[in-house]
Chains A and B, each alone.
Chain A
Amino acid sequence: DQQVKQNSPSLSVQEGRISILNCDYTNSMFDYFLWYKKYPAEGPTFLISISSIKDKNEDGRFTVFLNKSAKHLSLHIVPSQPGDSAVYFCAASAGSNTGKLIFGQGTTLQVKP
């Protein structure tokens, strides 16, 4: 039972345009969400996070939106750059102090020059 789902395995966008990566979750107890970026042969790197008390968090070119009623979050990258090409994972945790993260299966983003 996959509690965090990224239904698009891949996404291709042109350099300079917006990239939108989506993530859906089923567990209403999740209250903290994160996005990680992963290059081949490297570990995931933390990108941005959002608490369930907010609906938007912005950090430079990256913005995460949270829609709790729809149990949906999205990552917007504007403008997209070729160096953004990577696998993006969303992850969620359910209010514990253990830091137990449930990951989605990832979306491969390709940004074309």
Chain B
Amino acid sequence: DTAVSQTPKYLVTQMGNDKSIKCEQNLGHDTMYWYKQDSKKFLKIMFSYNNKELIINETVPNRFSPKSPDKAHLNLHINSLELGDSAVYFCASAAGGNQPQHFGDGTRLSIL
């Protein structure tokens, strides 16, 4: 029974397209996160929501828009995809601030 699930696992698309990645957690956690792992393997936080409220918004282009319809879901919508958006995107959730985060298996986004 997957705790944090992301869909799709792989996403191949062309420059300029708009795409969404979905994330759901069944752990009852209040806080959810989006991370980007680039080609150098650094994991960098992008956004965080606590109970549907945005609490972290790093320096991310405004083409990226997170949406949290409820505290179990945090989706990531990306407009006008660029080559540099190619990366693995990880969703995570936690019970609270300094609690360990549980990660999904990632979505590998490839821009042609």
Contacts and interface: CB of A to CB of B under 8 A. Distances in A.
Nearest to B104: A43
A64 interface: no
Given A44-B43, A106-B41, A99 B48 contact: yes
B55 A98 contact: yes
A36 B55 CA distance: 23
Contact of A105 (B41, B56, B98, B99): B41
A74 B17 CA distance: 43
Interface stretch (A13-21, A76-84, A89-97): A89-97
A54 to B, nearest CB: 14
Nearest to A96: B97
A99 B97 contact: yes
Contact of B90 (A43, A91, A102, A105): A43
A73 interface: no
Interface residues of B, number: 27
By secondary structure, the B interface counts as strand
A103 B44 contact: yes
A49 B94 CA distance: 14
Contacts of B104: 43
A105 B103 contact: no
Given A43-B4, A43-B106, A99 B33 contact: yes
Interface string B38-74: 0011111100101000011000000000000000000
A49 B31 CA distance: 19
A40 B41 CA distance: 12
The 7 closest A-B pairs by CB, nearest first: A43-B103, A97-B97, A46-B100, A103-B43, A99-B97, A44-B103, A43-B105
Interface of A: 2, 32, 34, 36, 41-46, 49, 87, 89, 91, 93, 96-103, 105-106
21 contacts: A34-B100, A36-B103, A41-B105, A41-B106, A43-B90, A43-B92, A45-B103, A46-B101, A49-B100, A87-B41, A98-B55, A99-B48, A99-B96, A99-B99, A100-B48, A101-B45, A102-B45, A103-B42, A103-B44, A105-B40, A106-B41
